[in-house]
Structure 1
Amino acid sequence: MTPTTPLNVLTFRTGPGDLLPVVLLHAFPLDARMWDDVARLAPGSRTVLAVDLPGLGGSAGLGMSPPSLDDAADAVAQTLTGLDVERAVIVGLSMGGYVALALLDRHPDRVAGLGLLDTRSTADDDAARANRLRVAAELESSGTVDAVRPMATALLGETTRTLRPELADRVGALIGQQTVAGVAWSQRAMAARPDRTAVLRRFAGPALVLVGDEDVAAPVAEAEHMVQALAAPHLVVVPHAGHLTAIEDPACVAEALGELAAQADTNDHRIHG
C-alpha cells in the first residue's frame, strides 16, 4: 500500500533549480530539527530540506501494520514528488540512514548522491531486534516516552558528554516532544528492516559515509563495511563525536555534505546534462 499523507518538511533554504536539493532524514527518536545547525552551516545556495519521518515531529503516523521502513521510504518519495523534487542528494543519520537505504532500494532514480551518517546497512541481530520490540511494548504500556529518554545521553560521544553536557538537554527536549505511537512504530519498523548491503553494491553514484569515532551505536567498523560495498565512497571519521555527529560537530558534517552535493551535481550533469 502506498502512503497518501505527505510528511512534514522543514525548508531550510530554497536554491536554484540547476543544483540538486539536499534532503535530510533524521535519527531516532528525534525529528527534523536535529539538522538545524547543519542546515545553517551548509555551503552554497542549494535547496536544503529536512523531513519528519512518519509519526515523529510534525508528521502523522502511517497507520499501517506491520510497521515498515519501506513504507517510510515510500512516504518520503511521495512527499518529494509533491514538492517537485524528482532527484536529490539523500542524507540519513542513524534511522534516517535506514530510510535512505530503503529509498535507494525502492526508488533508485531519485538518489543522485547518498549520505550515510552514523548508520549501518546490516539488519539487527536477534538480541537487538528483541530489545527494540521490548522497548516498543514498554512505551505503549507506560503511555510515555520515558523508556527512550536515556538515549539523550547515550547517543552522544564521551567527549561531548564531558565537555558539552548541555547538548544532552537539547536532545532530551526533542525526545520529550515525540509521541508514544510514533516512537513505538519506529522501533518496530527498525526491528523489521532487512540487510541492505547489496543495495549499496548497485549504487554507482557519489556516496559519503560519515561516522563519529566515539559512536558505539553504529561504530566505525559498520561504516567501513558500507564503504567496502560502495563504488564511489568517501569516508569521513569525525573526531571526538558519538552517534549524533550532526549535533555534536555540525560544521564537519556540513562541510562533508557540501562536498557530496557538489560531486553529485557534477555526476548528474555528466549523465543527464
Structure 2
Amino acid sequence: MSDQQTAASEVVLLHGWACPTGYWAPLQFELHRHGFHTAAPPLPGYGPEAPLPAGFGWNVESIADVIARGAARRPAPVHWVGHSLGGSIAATIAARHPEVTASVTLLGMVPTAPSDATRERLSAMFLDGAISEESIQQCLRAWYGDPLPADDEMLRAPFDVRRTVLDASLLAALDGVAPDVPQKIGVPAQVIVGADDQTRPLSEVEGYMRSHPAMELTVVPDSGHMVHWSAPAACADRVRNLVAGG
C-alpha cells in the first residue's frame, strides 16, 4: 500500500453481543500483515475503558452515534468491520454517518432482525431471570463449536458486564437495524458468513443478498458464527479486496 492508502486504511472492529474484544486478535494479526491499522474497542458499557453516561439509552442507533462521533476525530474515513450486533452498529454508522465511513464488512449477519424463534429462544435464556451456566455454555458452543477456545476467561468475561448493559444490548441485537438502513448504505459493503453458522440460516442470508445485489457475499466453508476467529486469513483477504475495490 502507498503511504496515502495506508493513512486512509484504518479498520475498526465492532464486536457482537456478549463477545470479547480479544476474539478479534487472529483477524487483527492478518490485517496487520496486509498493512492495515486496526482498532477493536469495547462497545460502550462493555468495559471500564468504555463507560456509559448516566441515563444513556443503549440501542443500535445511540451506540452508532457515539462511535461515529469518535470516528470523526480520525484523519480519514474508517473501514468498519462488525460482527453480529457489531454488524448492525457498523451498518447503521455507514447509513447515518457516511462522512466517517469508507467501507463496511458484516460478519456472521445480515442487517435484518433475527427470526421470532431466535428472539424467543435467546430471551428465555438471557432475559428472564438469572443467567444459567447451561445457557452460557449452550451459547458459546453455538458460536464457536467444539472444542471451545482455550481462553475460558476471555469467552466468559462479557457475560459479567453490568446486567442492564447486557440486557439492553441483547435487545438491540434482537431488534436489528432500522428498516431504512440497508438502502442508505452507499459505500462498498460486503457480508462474510460461515457455511455452518447456526445463528442465521444460509438460505436467509442468501435471500437478503438477492434483494441487495450491490453487496458482496462470501460463504466460508468449515466455519460458523465466529468466522473471523476460525478463518481470519480468508476474512482479511476479503477486507483487503473490498478496500482495494476488487
TM category, shorter: 0.7 to 0.9
Given candidates 23, 26, 39, the residue that maps to 1:37 is 26
In structure 2, the partner of 1:3 is none
Structure 1 segment 1-273 matched on structure 2, within 5 A: 18-42=7-31, 43-57=33-47, 58-61=49-52, 63-64=54-55, 66-82=57-73, 84-138=74-128, 141-142=129-130, 147-157=135-145, 161=146, 165-167=147-149, 169-170=150-151, 172-178=152-158, 179-181=161-163, 182-194=165-177, 196=179, 198-230=180-212, 232-263=214-245
Amino acid at match of 1:40: F
TM superposition shift of 1:205:
2.8
1:19: Cα distance to partner? 2.7
Could you list the structure 1 runs, at least 4 aligned residues long, displaced by more than 6 angstroms after superposition.
143-146
Give the fraction of aligned pairs with identical amino acids, expressed as a percent: 24
2:11–2:79 CA contact under 8 A, matched in 1: yes
**Relative to 1, partners in 2 of residues 1:145 and 1:247: Cα closer, same or farther, differing over 3 Å?**
same
Tell me, in whole angstroms, the C-alpha distance in 2 between the residues paired with 1:149 and 1:75: 32
- Asked if the contact 1:207–1:230 (Cα under 8 Å) also holds between the matched residues in 2, the reply is no
Q: Pairwise CA RMSD of aligned residues?
A: 2.9
Contact 2:98/2:187 (<8 A) preserved: no
* Residue-by-residue CA offset, 1:182-210 (whole Å, 9 max, x unaligned): 322211222333454x4333334322211
Give the CA deviation at 1:99. Answer: 0.9
Match of 1:270 in 2: none
CA 258–183 in structure 1, closer or farther in 2 if over 3 Å, else same: same
Are residues 145 and 95 of structure 1, via their aligned partners in 2, closer, same or farther at CA, if it must alter by over 3 Å? farther
TM-score scaled to structure 1, two decimals? 0.75
Distance 1:214 1:106, change over 3 A: same
SS state of the match for residue 51, structure 1?
A: coil
Letter matched to residue 224 of structure 1 = E
Mapped partners of 2:95, 2:8: distance in 1: 23
Distance, in Å, in 1 between the alignment partners of 2:133 and 2:46 is: 12
The answer as to whether partners of 1:115 and 1:207 remain within 8 angstroms in 2 is yes
Q: Assess, with a 3 A threshold, how the Cα gap between structure 1 residues 31 and 52 changes in structure 2: closer, same or farther.
A: same
CA deviations over 1:144-202 (Å, ceiling 9, x no partner): 87743432211124xxx2xxx142x43x4323212142322211222333454x43333
Give the structure 2 partner of residue 4 of structure 1: none
> Aligned equivalents of 2:133 and 2:88: distance in 1?
22
Alpha carbons 1:209, 1:233 under 8 Å: kept: yes
CA distance in 1, matches of 2:208, 2:94: 14
Question: Which structure 2 residue ranges, 5 or more long, are not aligned?
Answer: none
SS at structure 1 position matched to 2:90: helix
3-state DSSP of counterpart to 2:144: coil
Give the whole-Å Cα distance in 1 for the aligned partners of 2:184 and 2:207.
15
In structure 2, relative to structure 1, the CA distance for the partners of 1:221 and 1:109 (3 Å cut) is farther
8 Å Cα contact 1:144/1:180 also seen in 2: no
Equivalences, count: 239
